[in-house]
Amino acid sequence: MKKCNIYLIGFMGTGKTTVSRKLSELLGFEEIDTDAWIACQQGQSIPEIFESYGEHFFRDLETELLHRLGKEKHKIISCGGGMAMRQENVTLMQESGVVVLLTAEPETILHRVQGDDSRPILNGNMNVPYIQELLAKRLPYYEAAGEIAVATDSRSPQEIAEEIEKKLNSGKIYFDF
């Protein structure tokens, strides 16, 4: 079956939301940000959802959303950084789209997320050793889920979006434009 959605996955601060915007301009697909969608549906910010109901509840909302998105076509879906940690999520994404992994070095990530308190996982842990350790734990999951990987350090969202488009066009991916 041809795949017709693009899922952007990767650690916090790898540029999923900004790259999704550029890719949306480039391909003319609508973009959906899973964090923004969940916050809007719940009428609460992500930190408020974590605070009120806990992380597990938030993770269930993510999985529920992926079940709905599987029926969509030609969407660019920018996923929260924990999305690839559940095998059920990975299966849902791979069945309905191409999974694109964005990567960055811990120092780049820290630079991008510093001063932003909207990520409960990083609040109180804004330092390179913590990011490095969590990234090392998550990397095998990200790498197993991603069908295309793009490094984002020192590159503009436009360059990254163009590289993704090129890889989708390479013939190695069965993508339906």
Supply the minimum distance, in Å, between the C-beta of residue 16 and ligand S3P: 6
Residues that bind ligand S3P (CB under 6 A): 12, 16, 35, 46, 80-82, 119-121
Nearer to ligand S3P, 123 or 170 (CB): 123
Q: What does the block give as tokens for 11?
A: 């650690």
Q: What does the block give as tokens for 146?
A: 């991603």
Supply the minimum distance, in Å, between the C-beta of residue 171 and ligand S3P: 30
Nearer to ligand S3P, 92 or 175 (CB): 92
- Give Dmax (Cα) for the chain: 46
Supply the minimum distance, in Å, between the C-beta of residue 175 and ligand S3P: 23
CA 12 to chain centre: 8
Q: Is there a contact between 63 and 88 (Cβ–Cβ < 8 Å)?
A: yes
Nearer to ligand S3P, 31 or 35 (CB): 35
CA 106 to chain centre: 16
